[in-house]
Amino acid sequence: MIKGVLFDMDGVLVDSEAFMCKAAIKMFGELGLKVVPADFQPFVGMGENKYLGGVAEHYGVKIDIAKAKSRAYEIFGIIVKGNLAPLPGAHEFISECRKKGLKLALATSADPVKMNVNLKEIGLSAKVFDSIITGQDVVNKKPFPDIYIKAAKSIGLEPQECLVVEDAVSGIKAGKSAGCRCLAVTNSFEASELHEADWVCESLVKVPKNVLNW
């Protein structure tokens, strides 16, 4: 029986990926490296260490990941101001989960600084969630299951009692490996790429009825 819902953030509640990509491209440009959006796609959903570090490794460049993240987040905070909105159905689906008495956790691979910017911009209070787990709380990032195991435990549940809501291939792999059921939203990847999920929908406005009834 479902007792909790574990939400990813980027691509599920808010679409900030394009802005993070722009910020990362500008950051790399300041380091003298020209990169393109496609370079980042393999690392979507894995946290900024891998998102930035993976691209740097691809080009054979060594970077100070802490400084690189700090600068990228600084740029990100500037370019998203007033430009982010909640994805369709995000607020409503959270409300529906609450009405059903389900416990909620936010499980994002992003660092707290990015998470706080996103939540503020889309008008979603952190207090909506019973627990928040970020990329800084786990060593092994998605596609490893650690973040969802930790998120379930943080709200007093077993992973098998939880639904994971994800948009990324790496996130679905993490959720399934943790033992959760998964709802995939096709905001970042095609439905065919998210085939490991138990349910797939176009947006949180079109969630299958049985997703919250098991």
CATH number at residue 168: 3.40.50.1000
Domain that holds residue 33: 17-80
Mark whether 55 and 73 lie in a shared domain: yes
- Compute the Cα dihedral for 19, 25, 28, 32 and give only its sign: negative
Statement to judge: residues 76 and 174 lie in one domain: no
Last residue in a domain, options 30, 61, 80: 80
Mean pLDDT score across all residues of the chain: 96
pLDDT in tens, 106-159: 999 888 999 999 999 999 999 999 999 999 999 999 999 999 999 999 999 999
What DSSP string runs through 156-189?
T--GGGEEEEE-SHHHHHHHHHHT-EEEEETTSS
Q: Does residue 160 share a domain with residue 121?
A: yes
Residues 131 and 39 in one domain: no
Cα→Cα distances 131→41, 74, 104, Å: 28, 26, 7
Spatial separation of the C-alpha atoms in residues 200 and 191, rounded to whole Å: 7
Indicate if 15 belongs to the active site: no
Same domain, 110 and 157: yes
Show which of 61, 80, 99 is a domain's final residue.
80
201 and 99 in one domain? yes
Check whether 45 has a pLDDT greater than 80. no
Same domain, 113 and 94: yes
150 and 197 belong to one structural domain: yes
Q: Beta-strand (E) ranges in the chain? A: 4-7, 103-107, 131-133, 162-166, 181-185, 199-201
Kindly state whether residues 33 and 95 are assigned to the same domain.
no
Q: In the prediction, which pLDDT does 47 show?
A: 81
- Let me know whether 106 and 188 are in one domain: yes
Q: Please, which residues have CB within 8 angstroms of residue 181's CB and are 6 or more apart in sequence?
A: 2, 162, 163, 164, 175, 198, 214
pLDDT, residue 46, reads 84
Could you read off the pLDDT of 57-100 as tens digits, one per residue? 999 999 999 999 999 999 999 999 999 999 999 999 999 999 99
Among 59, 80, 101, the domain-final residue is: 80
Write out pLDDT tens, residues 46-63: 888 999 999 999 999 999
Residues 124 and 183 in one domain: yes
φ, ψ of residue 23 to 5 degrees: the values are -65, -40
| Candidates 10, 146, 167, 198; catalytic one | 10
Q: Among residues 114, 142, 136, 134, which one has the least CA distance to residue 46?
A: 142
Question: Taking the CB of residue 139, how many other CB atoms lie within 10 A of it?
Answer: 8
Is 39 catalytic? The answer is no
Same domain for 200 and 95: yes
**Cα Rg of the chain (Å, integer):** 17
Q: How are strands ordered across the β-sheet holding 162-166?
A: 131-133, 103-107, 4-7, 162-166, 181-185, 199-201
Domain count within the chain: 2
